[in-house]
Chain A
Amino acid sequence: MIIWIIIGMALVTAVPRFFPAFIIDRIQFPKWIDRWLNAIPYAALGALIFPGILSVKPDAPQIGIIAALAAGALAWLNLNIIIVVLGSIAAVFLMTF
């Protein structure tokens, strides 16, 4: 039973992932669609960060906000992304004493 759920999940996840490879292979987009697609990574980052980050600690959304500010500050200082990640983990760790 579980195996069929897994296979079904794999199919409905894989098809939307690989189908664009065929689309791109056949169709040349007009310039405005190229621009739209080039902006997608930044838009995706926005949509993935907020409001999701509020649920880092579901009962204390301010912890997520402070951790986001810490990550933002570290990134603003041009620190390596590993430091940004470790710094915000440390911030949450200290706030949850």
Chain B
Amino acid sequence: MMNTEAVEMPRQSRLQLVRRGAAAGFPIVLGYIPVALTYGVIAGQSGLTIAELTLMSVLVFAGAAQFLAVSMVAAGTGAIEIIIATFVLNFRHFVMSLSFMNRLRRIALKAKIPLSLGLTDETFTMSSLHKREAKEEYGSWFYASLMLTAYLSWVGGSFLGGLLGDIIPSRLSESMGVALYAMFIGLLIPSVKKHSRIAYIAVIAMAVNYVFQLWGISQGWAIVIGTLAGGLCGIWILEDEEEEV
């Protein structure tokens, strides 16, 4: 199964893979720019300097946690509480990284570590649905390029938001808030079309996440539990053949 696929696949050069990675990262850029600009504006209003708010994007690279942190700074919350809240909200990346790293078993540890640091909800889902590249000899160049494209737009957008304010007209920028959700849907649907049973995995994750949030569990843990529960059903729902698609 794997072998036939590898034979059919023309080998690609590093440059080709870098280009394709950047192209695959472009929808993420579209989603990140308005969010990053808004983050820059709100962080500035919360009292962070442009250097500080940009540094946070450089070192943390996690949108939801950064929004939460700057709102907590504005509310005068203590540092320890902010750091704990960040940990809880970002713990889902542990689960995502475990999944992605397992797919990259062939890639050397020294390449896996920088790739793991570039994982966000968006880079993880986009990378994971580009499965074939994990089997390419230079596949890590594809993922690195995808993540770097997303990262630069996040850092650049944050900086510009802090410097210039929200330069996108407010109604357009509000409408662009749907972009990342639309991207997630755009990633999910083709897989569901190919194997309708994948829909069960996603729907179970949605339902569990929703119910736990209704019960008052924090969003961070609810997403972790929903993702693990949906994935767990995949043990019975996915067949070996589907894993390879």
Which A residues fall within an 8 A CB radius of B?
1-10, 12-14, 16-25, 29, 32, 34-53, 56-57, 64, 67-68, 70-72, 74-76, 78, 81-82, 84-93, 96
Contact = CB atoms under 8 A, between A and B. Distances in A.
A45 B113 CA distance: 23
Nearest to B118: A17
B231 A43 contact: yes
Contact of B26 (A4, A75, A82): A82
B160 interface: no
A91 to B, nearest CB: 8
Most buried by B among A18, A43, A74: A43
Given A9-B83, A46-B226, A93-B175, A75 B203 contact: no
Interface of B: 26-27, 30-31, 48, 52, 55-56, 59-62, 65-66, 69, 73, 79, 82-84, 86-87, 90-105, 109, 112-113, 116-117, 119, 121, 124-125, 128-129, 171-172, 174-179, 181-191, 193, 198, 201-206, 208-210, 213, 222-223, 226-235, 237-238, 240, 243
Given A40-B95, A74-B186, 8 more contacts: A3-B55, A10-B59, A21-B116, A24-B104, A46-B230, A67-B178, A82-B30, A93-B175
B198 A50 contact: no
A18 B73 CA distance: 27
Given A8-B79, A39-B238, A41-B128, A46 B205 contact: yes
B182 A36 contact: no
B243 to A, nearest CB: 5
A41 to B, nearest CB: 4
Given A13-B62, A71-B186, A72-B185, A6 B55 contact: yes
A21 B178 contact: no
Given A46-B203, A47-B223, A29 B102 contact: yes
Nearest to B192: A42
